[in-house]
Amino acid sequence: MTKSVPHMRSRINKSMFQDIMSMTFKRLNPFYLQKNPVMFVVFIGGSLTSLICLRDLLYSIPFHEPLWFTASISFWLWFTLLFANGAEAIAEGKGKAHASSLKALAKEIKAHRILKNGQEEIVPASELRRDDIVKVQAGEFIPSDGEIIEGIAAIDESAITGESAPVIRESDSDRSSVTAGTRVISNSLLVRIIANPGESFLDQMIHLVQAAKRQKTPNEIALQILLVGLTLIFLIVCATLIPFGLYFHDKISLTVTIALLVCLIPTTIGGLVSAIGISGIERALRKNILAMSGKAVETAGDVDVLLLDKTGTITLGNRMPVEFIPFEGVDIKELAKVVQLSSFADRTPEGKSIIEFVQKNYGNFIDEKDIANLTFIPFSAETRMSGCDNKSLSVRKGSCDAIQDFIEKKGGKRPSNFAQVTEQIGLEGGTPLAVAQNDKILGIIHLKDIIKPGIHERFKRLRAMGVRTVMITGDNPFTAQTIAEEVGVDTFLAEATPEKKMKLIMEEQAKGYLVAMTGDGTNDAPALAQADLGIAMNSGTQAAKEAANMVDLDSNPTKILEVIEIGKQLLMTRGCLTTFSIANDVAKYFAIIPAIFVLSLPELEALNIMHLVSPHSAVLSAVIFNALIIVILIPLALRGVKYRPLGAKSLLARSLLIYGVGGILVPFIGIKLIDMLLVNMSLI
Amino acid sequence: MTLMGWLQIGFLFILLFGLTKPLGLYLYNIYESPSRFKILSTLEEMIFRFCGIDKEQQTWKAYTFCLILFNLIGIIVLFLIQTTQHFLPLNPQNYPAVPWDLALNTAVSFVTHTNWQAYSGETTLSYFTQMMGLTWQNFCAAGTGMTAFLALSRALAHHATDEGDKTVGNFWVDLIRSILFVFLPACFIFALILVSQGTLQNFSPAIDVTTLEGAKQTIAMGPVASQEAIKILGTNGGGFFNANSAHPFENPTPLSNFLQMLALVLIPAALTYTYGKITKSSSHGWALLATMVFISLLGVAFIYYFESQPNPLLNHLHLNQDLGNLEGKEVRFGIPGSSLFANFATDTSGGPANSMYDSFSPIGGLVLLINMLLGEVVFGGVGVGLFGMIMFVIISVFIAGLMVGRTPEYLGKKIEGKEVRFAILYVALYPLVILVGTSWSILAPYGLSSLQNLGPHGLSEVLYAYTSATQNNGSAFAGLNANTPWYNITLALAMFIGRFLSIYLGLAFAGSMVNKKIAIPNAGTFPTQGMLFIGLLIGVILIVGALTYFPVLILSPFLENTYLQMGKTT
């Protein structure tokens, strides 16, 4: 559903490449690395082996191991770190590229700031503060995110959404927000600025993709604790291996112990965990979702219940007529004529679609002469009718009870089967509109919701993910039921009011469910705040946006499905790489343990099932594999493990097979290949 | 291996499955609705009133404080009984006071549910010490294990309340109820059954006899059955005699052996059902039992197979070794009866022995070590076994939760950083104590001097000692002279840490889980029952265990086995 926006696709260009390289090296800084304990252990290992090399260069007798070996191990340990840093830098670079392409729009714009005394001054957009009022005229760009306080205008948002059709933004409505960098096409607006420089949604988002600034999410912290725990266990294992060696009269060198330690600790996930987190946010950004926090994206993956407004989300915004039902004694043509007359002044999308329907099926009944003699009564929310009058004639079209009142006032009576016909339409999920001429109801227009194409599949997918969907609609329960069944939502809330919606959210939460919803209006704001995940439409009011955890720049409510998938993907990628990382250790033991004891306990050669050529090649191959696997997995970390809505069981079985069993087997092959390569190239 | 052997083993497991539900239900009822049991609950009320227990609900902190305090006092009292036993009654052999380091070791050993015995009971301790000291502590230690389990499972089942109710029960109530409702009646019946099989129960002094060959022999006497019952049912393992369940006065017949094996795993197995009931997830309880049974069967299959093999070192003697490796085993139990007993002794934290584990084949010994090293979560000690199993479940569901793309949750409660920290510390605690203790002992001369064998078997012996102590098992690879100040003190420390620090971590975990909301599972939630979960849990337990202990196990039993196949020992 989301269109890809060509100019926003990030490509790694030359300057970005330089940025990434410099970040990669700069972050070898121990103060930076200590935030990631697993990689910090690698740093200490690399430093110690480097010191041993230095010592060996100064003294002629090497420290336990030949110099070339210690140097190679040291070299690859540093590379392990660089690869991990590189992964993070690439993820960050990509994220920043997206964010800054959005941000670049707002640069260099001049704003007309209205001063307290009513005078205008021209200032650069970057100097605008919260609550400043600016005037934006046709052809100008919106200088900073804001809310329209006066005026209505057509705005070209294509720079952000990629959608070329202009959108209408209007003060005091649910579509009062404007975004920096979009262009006003018609009219002029007074806009109140809502964020200080550097505090806009976009700025917040940029923080989320910066490794040094972003906050770890709770789930990431939990994983980190697990990884630190595993590191601790392996530290104990490796440290106590030295005394065990001594018991068998074998002095295990520090270099080999460090090599074993680095191979065993979960460097694969430890090195990629930051990149995974950043690229999760970046994927959201790529879908034009601004998340207020990394936690919000993760929460999305846990959503149990999803509240969706019917109108605009499940159905197209406007209903369309599907048939005219004349009452007894009324000719269909005559009805069609009255319908056209009465709808002529109805400028709502529904009114327009009714006229189109008449013209398409019954031809045109109105010519210029007629119009001149008629007084048109436009549709209004109060009367819920539209129509036209002249001396002898009064036609109306509108909601059934309004029309009924209308004819009863004139002394008319409704047809005997009126209630039956209207109820039937309601049962079918449609909306009946009555058509009257003077004191007589001629017939009924059957209006129907047009369900968005493809929505049925989306609900199926959501159900497979374990998400329950609730349709929110102002319709009566019968209509709601029919539509709910037709599109395949699980339940519905009919005759919804903001209070009812809020109550529903709280009830679901009390049952232990995590609730997500989308909204745009100010009256949605409390519900958006109450929901565990609230996504506000970018077109919505400021209040709605502030209450939400995410803002969708495309204002497309069905995008929530993709947000949920991004959240799930984020966790899955972490889980799968953790499993892979731990499963890898089996092969590494088989490579290194027999190598360590080759001299004192040659009997352990039986464990060398990979038939690695020499102890040195075995240890080195394991270390090289451990470093290279990080590089190989960078694309997966950035892209995320593919999510399939299969249900938890089959999803897990699948992942366990690929990353668990695969994680055990792959290093056996990889280490053996590296060993063969080292030997064939006479490096050993 | 024989068909009869496997039938014995299979019959026991079937019986175990059959008894799990009724006993588990009984346990559930006594803790959740004790008033159903009129006589016992009246008795209980009297005890509560006498002791001034107000049954107030405690938070995990208060609960843990009482638990540790009660056990610390237990250590002090037991230490004093041993060091003053020559002044106390029921000492017909006039045994002197126990030396302080041995007394400390024994006190910690029995309080921590380990029952590591660096002494021979029949030649060191008076009947008073055995009964009022050791048997009493056997009941208390088993009861303590139950309390830890109860607090944890209540915390997991507790629905979050707005008032932030974080209580997990009352330690004193749980302890007294465990002893009064569970262990005392069960042991009373079991002791009588053992007596019917020929187990001793008297206060007679040892009998000096002249054998047919004219040699003088002292035959030890004493109140054996009463201690034997709780030793087995409470998964304590400390025998009245040094030979433990191999001694004909402790475990006289194949039937008594069968019943002892069953009794050893009965309560830990039944608790899986109780746990399922408390947390309203019976199928999860069964899944845990299935996991335990699978790992246990795997273990016994290995032991039985390798003990059925001849010892290659004896090949040159041209002995008939058709029956397998019978060295150190009682003929009345045979290979299957010894293999299963040894497997259960190390699966649980019981650690009794009806054969000499030191004489097991290297792979047989390896399995015993692994059983303990995995954390004694397969059945495990009464209460604490399941307690440890839940920590592994937490780690399993954490990884599985991530892999299915949901914030990990267990029984509907979210697992976050704090909970992962307690669970992984719980898992990391054991290798820390075991590996550091072992490596220190094999380097230091005062540690090394206790070794009978050098080479891999010597390492196995020391590793076994620290494993057994830290995991509160108490079984021993004889061959190591553990009655030295170094081993007495460090093993006591290992036992203490292995018992109370782990309970502390588990209860701290309970404390952070207690007031969490319980979410209702949906199609995206990873189920904690069914084959996939069982497979995952088995995988996590075995892989974590294997990765942690791979090097040291390669250097001890594995290397020994390699040597053995080559016909040498070092």
Around Cβ A558, how many Cβ atoms within 10 Å?
A: 19
Q: How far is CA A383 from the centre of its chain?
A: 42
Which of A23, A479, A456, A582 is CA-nearest to residue A275?
A: A23
Tell me whether residues A648 and B527 touch, CB distance under 8 A.
Answer: yes
3-state DSSP assignment of residue B126: coil
**Per-residue confidence band for A10, with pLDDT thresholds at 50, 70 and 90:** very low
Which of residues 74 through 133 in chain A touch B, CB cutoff 8 A?
none
Report the C-alpha gap between B373 and B376 in whole angstroms: 7
Provide the b/e sequence for B244-267 (b: ≥16 CB within 10 Å).
bbbbbbbbbbeebbbbbbbbbbbb
Provide the b/e sequence for B73-92 (b: ≥16 CB within 10 Å).
ebbebbbebbbebeebeebe
Beta bridge partners of A324: A445
Give me the total of CB pairs closer than 8 Å, taking one residue from chain A and one from chain B.
193
So what's the pLDDT on residue B436?
96
Q: How far is CA B566 from the centre of its chain?
A: 35
Closest residue, chain A, to B520 (C-alpha): A512
Chain B residues within 8 A of A248 when measuring between CB atoms? 555
Q: Is A561 on the interface with B (CB under 8 A)?
A: no
Whether residue A682 is predicted with pLDDT greater than 80 in this model: the reply is: no
The answer to whether residues B526 and A648 touch, using CB atoms and an 8 Å cutoff, is: yes
So what's the pLDDT on residue A38?
96
Tell me whether residues B523 and A579 touch, CB distance under 8 A.
Answer: no
Judge whether B455 lies within some domain: yes
Judge whether B570 lies within some domain: no
CB nearest to B417's CB, from A225, A232, A586: A225
What's the whole-number mean pLDDT along residues B116-143?
90
So what's the pLDDT on residue B424?
95
- Output the CA–CA distances (angstroms, integers) from residue A200 to A536, A540, B249, in the order listed: 15, 16, 82
The answer to whether residues A487 and A481 touch, using CB atoms and an 8 Å cutoff, is: no
CB nearest to A301's CB, from B405, B523, B562: B405
Query: How many domains does one find in chain B?
Result: 1
- Output the CA–CA distances (angstroms, integers) from residue A162 to A22, A165, A552, in the order listed: 33, 9, 13
- Optimal mutation site among A232, A469, A603, interface B, most CBs of chain B within 10 A: A603
Judge whether B514 lies within some domain: yes
Provide the b/e sequence for A637-651 (b: ≥16 CB within 10 Å).
bbebbebbbbbbbeb
The answer to whether residues B171 and B70 touch, using CB atoms and an 8 Å cutoff, is: yes
Pair of tokens at residue B131: 């009964």
Q: What would the pLDDT profile of A119-130 be if each residue is shown by its tens digit?
A: 888 888 878 888
CA atoms within 13 A on the CB side of A208: 30
Q: Which amino acid is it at B26? A: Y
Whether residue A206 is predicted with pLDDT greater than 80 in this model: the reply is: no
The single-letter DSSP state of residue B54 is -
So what's the pLDDT on residue A8?
41
Q: What is the mean pLDDT of chain B?
A: 91
Closest residue, chain A, to B536 (C-alpha): A656
Whether residue A7 is predicted with pLDDT greater than 50 in this model: the reply is: no
- The DSSP H or E segment spanning A263 is helix A254-264
Around Cβ A382, how many Cβ atoms within 10 Å?
A: 7
CB nearest to A579's CB, from B399, B420, B438: B399
Mind telling me how many Å the CA of A479 is from chain B's nearest CA?
28
Tell me whether residues A568 and B406 touch, CB distance under 8 A.
Answer: yes
Around Cβ A84, how many Cβ atoms within 10 Å?
A: 29
Q: What would the pLDDT profile of A357-414 be if each residue is shown by its tens digit?
A: 888 888 887 777 777 778 888 877 677 888 888 878 888 998 888 888 888 888 888 8
**Per-residue confidence band for A11, with pLDDT thresholds at 50, 70 and 90:** low
3-state DSSP assignment of residue A404: helix
- Output the CA–CA distances (angstroms, integers) from residue B34 to A177, B146, B236, in the order listed: 64, 16, 26
Report the 3 state secondary structure along A110-178. Answer: EEEEECCCCCEEEEEHHHCCCCCEEEECCCCECCCCEEEEECEEEEECHHHHCCCCCEEEECCCCCCEE
Q: Is A508 on the interface with B (CB under 8 A)?
A: no
Chain A residues within 8 A of B523 when measuring between CB atoms? 463-466, 647-648
Closest residue, chain B, to A510 (C-alpha): B517
The answer to whether residues A124 and A111 touch, using CB atoms and an 8 Å cutoff, is: yes
CB nearest to B404's CB, from A218, A242, A651: A651
Q: Which amino acid is it at B99? A: P
Report the C-alpha gap between B310 and B319 in whole angstroms: 10
Q: What would the pLDDT profile of B257-291 be if each residue is shown by its tens digit?
A: 999 999 999 999 999 999 999 999 999 999 999 99
Chain A residues within 8 A of B419 when measuring between CB atoms? 222
Chain A residues within 8 A of B398 when measuring between CB atoms? 222, 226
Around Cβ B70, how many Cβ atoms within 10 Å?
A: 17
**Per-residue confidence band for A509, with pLDDT thresholds at 50, 70 and 90:** confident
The answer to whether residues A96 and A206 touch, using CB atoms and an 8 Å cutoff, is: yes
Report the 3 state secondary structure along B386-452. Answer: HHHHHHHHHHHHHHHHHHCCCCCEECCEECCHHHHHHHHHHHHHHHHHHHHHHHHHHHCHHHHCCEC
Those residues whose C-beta lies under 8 Å from the C-beta of residue A397, and which sit 6 or more positions away, are A338, A339, A342, A343, A346, A354, A385, A386, A387, A403, A433, A434, A435, A436, A445
Q: Which of A56, A132, A145, A309 is an active site residue? A: A309
Whether residue A106 is predicted with pLDDT greater than 60 in this model: the reply is: no
Q: Which amino acid is it at B383? A: G
Pair of tokens at residue A618: 């075995």
Report the C-alpha gap between B374 and A594 in whole angstroms: 24
Q: What would the pLDDT profile of B176-217 be if each residue is shown by its tens digit?
A: 999 999 999 999 999 999 999 999 999 888 888 998 888 898
- The DSSP H or E segment spanning A436 is strand A430-437
So what's the pLDDT on residue A104?
67
The domain in which residue B101 lies consists of: 3-565
Compute the radius of gyration of chain B from its Cα atoms: 23
Q: Which of A200-209, B213-222, B301-310, B346-355 has the lowest mean pLDDT?
A: A200-209
Chain A residues within 8 A of B570 when measuring between CB atoms? none
**Pairing mode, strands A385-389 and A394-399:** antiparallel
- Optimal mutation site among A38, A215, A217, A219, interface B, most CBs of chain B within 10 A: A219
Region of residue A128 (phi > 0: left; psi between -120 and 50: alpha; otherwise: beta)? beta
Report the C-alpha gap between B228 and B186 in whole angstroms: 12
- Output the CA–CA distances (angstroms, integers) from residue A221 to A35, A296, A563, B140, in the order listed: 11, 15, 21, 39
Chain B residues within 8 A of A568 when measuring between CB atoms? 404-406, 524
**Annotated catalytic residue A389:** no
Whether residue B312 is predicted with pLDDT greater than 50 in this model: the reply is: yes
The answer to whether residues A419 and A444 touch, using CB atoms and an 8 Å cutoff, is: no
Please give the span between the terminal C-alpha atoms of chain B, in angstroms, as a whole number: 29
> Which of A533-547, A552-566, B172-186 has the largest mean confidence?
B172-186
The single-letter DSSP state of residue B499 is I
More confident residue, A438 or A270: A270
Beta bridge partners of A305: A468, A515
User: Can you tell me the ipTM of this complex?
Assistant: 0.94
Q: What would the pLDDT profile of B456-504 be if each residue is shown by its tens digit?
A: 989 999 999 999 999 999 888 878 888 899 999 999 999 999 999 999 9
**Per-residue confidence band for A317, with pLDDT thresholds at 50, 70 and 90:** low
The answer to whether residues B441 and B451 touch, using CB atoms and an 8 Å cutoff, is: no
So what's the pLDDT on residue A263?
96
Report the C-alpha gap between A503 and A180 in whole angstroms: 35
Mind telling me how many Å the CA of B526 is from chain A's nearest CA?
5
The answer to whether residues A407 and A437 touch, using CB atoms and an 8 Å cutoff, is: no
Closest residue, chain A, to B428 (C-alpha): A233
Closest residue, chain B, to A243 (C-alpha): B439
So what's the pLDDT on residue B145?
95
Chain B residues within 8 A of A244 when measuring between CB atoms? 439, 442, 459, 551-552, 555
Which of residues 461 through 490 in chain A touch B, CB cutoff 8 A?
463-468
So what's the pLDDT on residue B121?
79
Pair of tokens at residue B539: 């995988």
DSSP line for A29-78: -HHHHTTSHHHHHHHHHHHHHHHHHHHHHHSSS-SSS-HHHHHHHHHHHH
**Per-residue confidence band for A105, with pLDDT thresholds at 50, 70 and 90:** low
Whether residue B134 is predicted with pLDDT greater than 70 in this model: the reply is: yes
Give helix B384-403 / helix B282-307 axis angle, nearest 10°: 110
So what's the pLDDT on residue A467?
87
Chain A residues within 8 A of B526 when measuring between CB atoms? 648-649, 652
Q: What would the pLDDT profile of B80-99 be if each residue is shown by its tens digit?
A: 999 999 999 888 888 999 99
Tell me whether residues A236 and B559 touch, CB distance under 8 A.
Answer: no
Q: What would the pLDDT profile of B377-425 be if each residue is shown by its tens digit?
A: 999 999 999 989 999 999 999 999 999 988 899 998 999 999 999 999 9
- Optimal mutation site among B159, B161, B280, B403, interface A, most CBs of chain A within 10 A: B403
Report the C-alpha gap between B93 and B205 in whole angstroms: 7
CB nearest to B403's CB, from A233, A301, A655: A655
Tell me whether residues B554 and A604 touch, CB distance under 8 A.
Answer: yes
**Pairing mode, strands A550-552 and A533-537:** parallel
Report the C-alpha gap between A336 and A231 in whole angstroms: 79
Mind telling me how many Å the CA of A465 is from chain B's nearest CA?
5
Q: What would the pLDDT profile of B521-562 be if each residue is shown by its tens digit?
A: 777 788 898 999 999 999 999 999 999 999 999 999 899 988
Report the C-alpha gap between B200 and B247 in whole angstroms: 11
Whether residue B520 is predicted with pLDDT greater than 50 in this model: the reply is: yes
Closest residue, chain B, to A607 (C-alpha): B554
3-state DSSP assignment of residue A492: strand
So what's the pLDDT on residue A50?
95
What's the whole-number mean pLDDT along residues A227-255?
94
Q: Is A274 on the interface with B (CB under 8 A)?
A: no
What's the whole-number mean pLDDT along residues A616-624?
95
CB nearest to B403's CB, from A229, A468, A576: A576
Judge whether B354 lies within some domain: yes
Report the C-alpha gap between B481 and B452 in whole angstroms: 8
> Which of A92-101, A508-517, B256-265, B470-479 has the largest mean confidence?
B256-265
The residue length of chain B stands at 570
Mind telling me how many Å the CA of A583 is from chain B's nearest CA?
8
The residue length of chain A stands at 684
Chain A residues within 8 A of B563 when measuring between CB atoms? 603
Chain B residues within 8 A of A465 when measuring between CB atoms? 523-524
**Per-residue confidence band for A184, with pLDDT thresholds at 50, 70 and 90:** confident
Closest residue, chain A, to B554 (C-alpha): A604
Mind telling me how many Å the CA of B548 is from chain A's nearest CA?
7
Tell me whether residues A572 and B525 touch, CB distance under 8 A.
Answer: no
CA atoms within 13 A on the CB side of A571: 32
Tell me whether residues A571 and B523 touch, CB distance under 8 A.
Answer: no
What's the whole-number mean pLDDT along residues B122-151?
92
CB nearest to B524's CB, from A465, A583, A597: A465
Q: What would the pLDDT profile of B53-84 be if each residue is shown by its tens digit?
A: 888 899 999 999 999 999 999 999 999 999 99
% residues pLDDT > 90 (chain B)? 68
- Optimal mutation site among B396, B399, B460, interface A, most CBs of chain A within 10 A: B399
Report the C-alpha gap between A12 and A638 in whole angstroms: 14
Q: What would the pLDDT profile of B26-59 be if each residue is shown by its tens digit?
A: 999 999 888 888 888 889 899 999 988 888 899 9
So what's the pLDDT on residue B317?
83
% residues pLDDT > 90 (chain A)? 30
Whether residue A2 is predicted with pLDDT greater than 60 in this model: the reply is: no
